[in-house]
Amino acid sequence: MFDFLLKTPDRVAFTIFGIDIMWYGLLIGIGMVLAVLLACKRAKRHGLSDDRMLDVALWSIPAGVIGARIYYVIFQWDQYKDNLKSILNIREGGLAIHGGILVGVGLAFILLKFVWKEDVLGYVDLFMPSIALGQAIGRWGNYFNQEAYGCETKLPWGMLVNGKFVHPTFLYESIWCLLLCIFLVWLADSGRKKFKGQILCLYLILYSVERFFVEGLRTDSLMIGPLRQAQVISLVLIALGCVLWVILSKKNGKASE
């Protein structure tokens, strides 16, 4: 079942006009498109505008990619300081999801609240499952780049890299994010959501719990001093999700009185 993990994949998906199209970028692109389609398809069910959702995507996705790259470069500055042009080369990988979420969701919040005067939490709840779907698909780019893998393992689904069997951490995160997407869509679309912002809170908490433990298996983590930065950020996001849960659930309770 996991035979593909024993093969070294071709990083090039296809070539067009002499330009190699890398699986990394292609899969991230596919993930983004499907994420937007999912959000737009669900928008009217929640009384929101699919056109506005497209507006959010057109601004937030490019901003998120830039944020993900800047975040990665900051923590790997020694790798880029002597060749600044390489900062623009994202075909080889080097996008940090935490930076992408911070910038992309942050810009969406600003536009929805201060420019378009829309229901911020309604839209944020709408696109959080889509972010999880995009991550589930985009993580496969790490497989084709042979990166974001873990330490050595004897488990039967170990991934063969440089002659050693290692944890396929990209696969763990992909599966978790897909299940997270399904769960969040089910919760929101089934009418079981209790308050606006609940989907955001659950995404922050549940994704960060997974990322904290999976990051502990990785060997290529970005670091904050002696600590894995993704684990530190995950703990912060779990705390933020819990605080928001308390605040927003109380606000919802008062609004319904």
- 146-186 pLDDT, tens digit per residue, is 999 999 999 999 999 999 999 999 999 999 999 999 999 99
Query: Is the confidence at residue 250, as pLDDT, over 60?
Result: yes
Residue 256: band (very low, low, confident or very high) from pLDDT cuts 50, 70, 90: very low
**Predicted structure pTM score:** 0.94
74-99 per-position pLDDT tens digit: 988 988 989 898 998 887 789 999 99
| Long-range Cβ contacts of 108-114 (<8 Å, 24+ apart) | 108/56, 108/59, 108/60, 111/55, 111/56, 111/59, 111/60, 112/56
Are the C-beta atoms of 244 and 201 separated by less than 8 Å?
yes
What is the spatial distance between Cα 32 and Cα 58, in angstroms, rounded to a whole number?
11
In this structure, what token pair is assigned to residue 144? 């084709």
2-15 per-position pLDDT tens digit: 889 999 999 999 99
Chain centroid to CA 122: how far? 19
33-45 per-position pLDDT tens digit: 999 999 999 999 9
Residue 121: band (very low, low, confident or very high) from pLDDT cuts 50, 70, 90: very high
End-to-end, the C-alpha distance of the chain in Å comes to 54
199-232 per-position pLDDT tens digit: 999 999 999 999 999 999 999 887 887 789 999 9
Confidence (pLDDT) at 254: 53
* Cβ neighbourhood burial of 117 (10 Å; 0-12, 13-18, 19+): exposed
